[in-house]
Structure 1
Amino acid sequence: MNVEVDAIERVLKNATEALESSKYHIYEIGEAARQEQEALSTELQRAMEELDETIRTVDKLEEQYRRARVRLVEVSRDFKKYGEKDIRDAYETATQLQLSLSINREKESNLKSRRDDLQKRIRNIDRTIERAEALFSQMNVVLEYLSGDLGQVTRILESAKNRQLLGLKIILAQEDERRRIAREIHDGPAQSMANLILRTDIAERMLAKGEYDVVKAELADLKQNVRTELEEVRKIIFNLRPMALDDLGLVPTIRKLTQDFEEKMKIRTRFELRGKERRLATGMEVALFRLVQESLTNVAKHADATHATVEMSFLGDSAVRVVIADNGVGFDLNRWSSKAAAGESASFGLVGMRERVELLEGKFEIESNVNAGTKIAIEVPLDDGSKEEENHG
């Protein structure tokens, strides 16, 4: 037994040292990526400022060029009032302004291309940082286990292996959700607000010039844009925690989810209810809502479908069954099962859903074939505890 313990100690020591070394290298990669991200962000900020200045210059030159052309037409028509020198001066002024305008338009186009390229590079670096952080976190968890009391190793390996993996997947899912929300806010409301600020600056300049009709139209358009962005913010809030789930219950909230999904994704989506609708325990309603939400997200991302259905069945007082189906491209179920067994990250989404259903002591089934769509069936029992919590609510 002592020999076995010594051997385990050596294995643990070697594994710990290798992981520590790898963790340090991953940390260096992450730090280098962060430094590059900061440098690119600074460069992007300068490019955005230069672009704003160039847009203002182009606007100014366009107005000057318009006036120069009017002047040129004026002096060219009235030979009695204007001489050859006046015509030549007006022509040279218009030509010079046209050249400056062309140069600045080209500069504006180049700056926009540079801005787009920098934003793309920053997004790529963000993904590198996310992968490095995920690996770093996983290694920390593993090192904590390896650095623990040797007497607990067997018990940990036997009783906590699955919980550790599930815990890691839950942590990663939470971080993915936070990053998704941050990206959604950054790419949506944040970008639109920046655009609104720029357009209000333009409106102020036009107001100073006395172009009141143009300013009025611009303000009306801005008002509509603010309404649109407010709706986007409300949708983000709904996705975080739909208030309708507390106020109205699971069925109306999922019905609204399918309607919003159809409107946003342009995928025809039908919701069907079977059995007598009833309120469930708060935790059960949240869990089922998130499972349906994640299933529809997978349809939007991967299925390339034109039609989807969500069918909810209340099986008396004993269970709830939810079936989410689509007519998309489907996938090879055997290949997916192999990836899931190997722990490949590409399968974590459905694996995480299955494990959450199992935590609810339910059943999770997948039917899919290549080019034949996918169907996910979830059935969760309603135990006495759920009913008791519901009655108290």
Structure 2
Amino acid sequence: MDFQAEALDKVIKNAIEVVESSKYQIFEILESARDELLSLKQELQFVMKETETTLNRVDQLEINYRRSRIRLTEVSRDFVRYKEEDIKQAYEKATQLQLDLMIYREKEMYLKARRDELQKRSRSVENSVARAESVGSQMGVVMEYLTGEIGQVNKIIKTAKNRQFIGLKIILAQEEERKRIAREIHDGPAQLLANLVLRTEIVERMIAKQDFNMVQAEIVDLKGQVRASLEEMRKVIFNLRPMALDDLGLIPTLRKFVHDFEERTRIRSLFETRGKEQRFSSAMEAAIYRLVQEAITNAFKHAAPTYVLVEMTFQAQMVKIVIQDNGCGFKIALIEEKRNEHFGLIGMRERVELLEGRMEISSELEQGTKIVIHIPTNVDKRKE
């Protein structure tokens, strides 16, 4: 298909204006969210300190109140040693301590509720900041491509060899963004959750000394929830960017993914390789990993299989990937008829085409599904 440079240049300029305008709007949203997050964190820090002070005050009042009750009982029984004035003073002191204790307990409940609310709002705003940063970064990538020389854009569009290179650059940009988000989550929310576990352990020991069984049980449950959240966060970090992909390579990472999938779902899973294993570029390995991950996830969500096979065959200038399951299967014709309901497979096919590969799907109802992907592996030579 022929492209006229002037028309294409006009389209790109309009797109650049829209992207530039959207970029500034996203920047304003991001700055507003950062200011709100800073305010929330400052208020949360104050509430945390106030809560700790109140807890200490409640503990002391509990001790003083118990002592005053003992004192009241003592003076009330011994009319020889103590006068009516002593009894009155003991009673008033016990009453005042009881009132103070009730007030501080109410304050403690309010502070805890406010703390939980602030933590929830902080997490929500942090997610908004992360999303805004991600969109802003993606806008930057789009701007980089759109502001390129129009003649070069025409050459890239017309040249099939360069098309794969464009696809790999896009994938590489996405993977770099995943790395950044993974680092931010690890250094931010994950560290905060770890700190919360430590604080709950301290509070647990403090309250345990006073034998508040119900409160202690509640704190123990809270600690378990926080630890579970921390574990989930670590899983998110791994899914964003498996570190083994950079350190060990594609095959060990896929083997671990399939093994973990079997452990998590109890679905029998097998990973096999054929031919001489090769290392590819970081972008290529990331693309293949995401394709296998998407295929297995789709099978788990929609096919209810009891067996999944992943097979990779290394050839001279091609890698063949087979993902097969014995699930419920589907009619191939329905994919094109209902594209919106099968965006997972459609998205996989588009990503394979970006890599100049091809994807074949064979499936029948109650006979499972087989996906075969062929991807050329000489992209690095073309890049040079």
Partner of residue 134, structure 1: 134
Q: CA deviation at 1:362?
A: 6.7
Partner of residue 92, structure 1: 92
Calculate the aligned-residue CA RMSD, in Å: 5.3
For 1:108 and 1:132, locate their aligned partners in 2 and report how far apart those are by CA, in whole Å: 36
- What one-letter code is carried by the residue in structure 1 that aligns with 2:256? T
Which range moved further: 63-72 or 283-292?
Answer: 283-292
Partner of residue 41, structure 1: 41
Q: CA deviation at 1:170?
A: 5.3
- Report if aligned partners of 1:321, 1:378 keep a CA contact under 8 Å in 2: yes
* Structure 1: stretches of 5+ with no match in the other structure: 262-267, 341-346, 386-393
Q: CA deviation at 1:77?
A: 3.8
* Structure 2: stretches of 5+ with no match in the other structure: 329-333, 379-384
- One of 173, 177, 181 as aligned partner of 1:179: 181
What whole-Å deviation, never above 9, does each CA across 1:272-296 have from its counterpart, x for those lacking one?
A: 4488999955669987766666667
Matches within 5 A, 1:258-337: 258=261, 260-261=263-264, 268-273=265-270, 281=278, 309=306, 311-312=308-309, 314=311, 321-323=322-324, 337=339
For 2:122 and 2:199, locate their aligned partners in 1 and report how far apart those are by CA, in whole Å: 23
Matches within 5 A, 1:1-393: 5-158=5-158, 167-168=169-170, 171-172=173-174, 174-176=176-178, 178-179=180-181, 182-183=184-185, 186-188=188-190, 190-197=192-199, 199-200=201-202, 232=231, 240-241=242-243, 253-254=256-257, 256-258=259-261, 260-261=263-264, 268-273=265-270, 281=278, 309=306, 311-312=308-309, 314=311, 321-323=322-324, 337-338=339-340, 351=347, 355=351, 359=355, 361=357, 363=359, 365=361, 378-379=371-372
For 1:258 and 1:134, locate their aligned partners in 2 and report how far apart those are by CA, in whole Å: 28
- Report if aligned partners of 1:357, 1:378 keep a CA contact under 8 Å in 2: no
For 1:80 and 1:278, locate their aligned partners in 2 and report how far apart those are by CA, in whole Å: 101
Which range moved further: 289-298 or 16-25?
Answer: 289-298
- Report if aligned partners of 1:320, 1:380 keep a CA contact under 8 Å in 2: yes
Q: Which secondary structure state, in structure 2, belongs to the residue aligned with residue 27 of structure 1?
A: helix
| Distance verdict in 2 for CA 1:77–1:30, change over 3 Å | same
Which range moved further: 88-97 or 192-201?
Answer: 192-201
| Distance verdict in 2 for CA 1:317–1:351, change over 3 Å | closer
- Report if aligned partners of 2:258, 2:271 keep a CA contact under 8 Å in 1: no
- Report if aligned partners of 2:296, 2:323 keep a CA contact under 8 Å in 1: no
Partner of residue 391, structure 1: none
Partner of residue 382, structure 2: none
For normalisation by structure 1, the TM-score amounts to 0.62
- Report if aligned partners of 1:312, 1:320 keep a CA contact under 8 Å in 2: no
| Distance verdict in 2 for CA 1:165–1:202, change over 3 Å | same
Q: CA deviation at 1:149?
A: 1.9
For normalisation by structure 2, the TM-score amounts to 0.63
- What one-letter code is carried by the residue in structure 2 that aligns with 1:86? D
What whole-Å deviation, never above 9, does each CA across 1:136-168 have from its counterpart, x for those lacking one?
A: 233323332332222223224455678657744
- Report if aligned partners of 1:308, 1:326 keep a CA contact under 8 Å in 2: yes
- Report if aligned partners of 1:272, 1:311 keep a CA contact under 8 Å in 2: yes
Equivalenced residue count is 343
Q: CA deviation at 1:325?
A: 8.0
Which range moved further: 60-69 or 36-45?
Answer: 60-69
For 2:80 and 2:302, locate their aligned partners in 1 and report how far apart those are by CA, in whole Å: 71
What whole-Å deviation, never above 9, does each CA across 1:230-252 have from its counterpart, x for those lacking one?
A: x9599769774459978x95787
For 2:25 and 2:271, locate their aligned partners in 1 and report how far apart those are by CA, in whole Å: 55
- Report if aligned partners of 1:310, 1:322 keep a CA contact under 8 Å in 2: no
Q: Which secondary structure state, in structure 2, belongs to the residue aligned with residue 148 of structure 1?
A: coil
For 2:155 and 2:356, locate their aligned partners in 1 and report how far apart those are by CA, in whole Å: 25
For 2:94 and 2:362, locate their aligned partners in 1 and report how far apart those are by CA, in whole Å: 70
What whole-Å deviation, never above 9, does each CA across 1:76-124 have from its counterpart, x for those lacking one?
A: 3444444333333232222222222222222222222222222232233
- What one-letter code is carried by the residue in structure 1 that aligns with 2:56? R
Q: Which secondary structure state, in structure 2, belongs to the residue aligned with residue 35 of structure 1?
A: helix
For 1:350 and 1:60, locate their aligned partners in 2 and report how far apart those are by CA, in whole Å: 65
For 1:322 and 1:19, locate their aligned partners in 2 and report how far apart those are by CA, in whole Å: 38
Flag the structure with more relative contact order, 1 or 2, with Cα contacts below 8 A and sequence separation at least 6.
Answer: 2
Among the aligned pairs, what percent are the same residue? 32
Q: CA deviation at 1:257?
A: 1.0
Q: CA deviation at 1:71?
A: 2.9
- What one-letter code is carried by the residue in structure 1 that aligns with 2:268? F
Q: Which secondary structure state, in structure 2, belongs to the residue aligned with residue 322 of structure 1?
A: strand
Q: Which secondary structure state, in structure 1, belongs to the residue aligned with residue 148 of structure 2?
A: coil
